[in-house]
Amino acid sequence: MFITLHRFNANFKTQVASFNLKLGSMVFGSETFKYHLDAAFFNEIGQSEVRGSDVDATVTVDRKREDYFELKIECSGTLVIACDRCLDDLEHEVETTYEIGVKLSGTDYDDSRDELLIIPESWRELDVAPLVRDTVLLTIPMTHVHAHGECNREMESLLSDHAAEGLNDAAGSETAPEQDENVEGNVDPRWAALLKLKENN
Ligand SMILES: [Zn+2]
């Protein structure tokens, strides 16, 4: 039931906290846990668009009652993701705080509410990794592109070429530079374009 993260071995125990918080044995009051989030942290649950990460996270747990905890998740740093327009690396600044109550109640797990997480009374621990991960990932806007003029122009024009051919409706640039006559045969034109770009570099 609990996901145990083995990434931080025992040698680092004093510097890096475990994501598995032992709620059941916490004293009343506040306790703080600090983490550094790398790209592996975001990618270990499967596909993710995170290429790089240098994000610090602080989780403060305030045990208010026997069965109720207030969690405050503060994250700041930088993610590297792909630009939607040119696919080059794009730095995304993360500066966010998420607060959620955690209540021990009954036997069911219920995360359907934004501000309250209900976990079974029998749980002595809570893995906060998914909460921390979502807190950071939710800061990525639906459309993330470089500032005007900062895209990789070569890649952008190649992609918009194919947009003009109707292969990629999402690329969306209006400029459609002249067709590349060398791209032919059975090779997917997008791959051909990438190969050509590579050859030219
Ligand atoms: Zn770009």
Spacing, Cα 41 to ligand 1 middle (Å):
25
- How large is the average pLDDT for residues 48-53? 88
- Do residues 149 and 137 lie in contact, with contact meaning Cβ atoms separated by under 8 Å? no
Spacing, Cα 158 to ligand 1 middle (Å):
12
Task: Decide if pLDDT at 161 tops 90.
Answer: no
- Do residues 14 and 38 lie in contact, with contact meaning Cβ atoms separated by under 8 Å? no
Cα(90)–Cα(48) distance, rounded to whole angstroms?
15
Spacing, Cα 182 to ligand 1 middle (Å):
25
Show the domain range for 172: 153-200
Cα(184)–Cα(23) distance, rounded to whole angstroms?
61
Spacing, Cα 67 to ligand 1 middle (Å):
48
> Within this chain, do residues 16 and 91 fall inside the same structural domain, yes or no?
yes
pLDDT the model gives residue 159: 79
Spacing, Cα 167 to ligand 1 middle (Å):
19
Summarised one tens digit per residue, pLDDT across range 76-126 is 999 999 999 999 999 999 999 999 999 999 999 999 998 999 999 998 899
Task: Note whether residue 113 is domain-resident.
Answer: yes
Helix axes 189-200 and 153-164, enclosed angle (nearest 10): 160
> Within this chain, do residues 63 and 16 fall inside the same structural domain, yes or no?
yes
Q: What distances in angstroms separate CA 102 from CA 3, 105, 113, one per listed residue? A: 18, 9, 11
pTM summary value: 0.70
